Amino acid sequence: MLFVSIRHRTRTVLEEKLGRAQCVVMFYEKVILASMPLADNDLVLVTVDTSARNFQDIMRKVLKLIGKYIVL
């Protein structure tokens, strides 16, 4: 998962124009991977099998749990 951290850091180049990324979702053949930045340069990573039908529900629950820790 090191590549997720590296990609997150490279996204910061665009932050001046676009604002901070709140959540990034990547769809792979076998999994869906979501990353959300937290304070102190930490990341929350959520992986879901692509066959899951409730990805949006899962993400809503995760965001509700960690919402106060997300850096906006």
Residue 4, Ramachandran bin (φ over 0: left; ψ between -120 and 50: alpha; else beta): alpha
Task: Give the pLDDT of residue 9.
Answer: 67
Greatest Cα pair distance, the chain, in angstroms, is 36
| Model pLDDT, residue 28 | 92
* CA 7 to chain centroid: 11
Tens digit of each residue's pLDDT (9 = 90 or more) over 37-68 = 887 778 889 999 999 889 899 988 988 888 77
Question: Per the confidence metrics, is the pTM higher than 0.85?
Answer: no
Confidence class for position 4, pLDDT limits 50, 70, 90:
low
Say how many domains are in the chain: 1
- 34 closest CA partner among 68, 72, 63: 63
Which range marks the domain in which residue 15 is found? 2-69
What pLDDT is stored for residue 41 in this prediction?
75
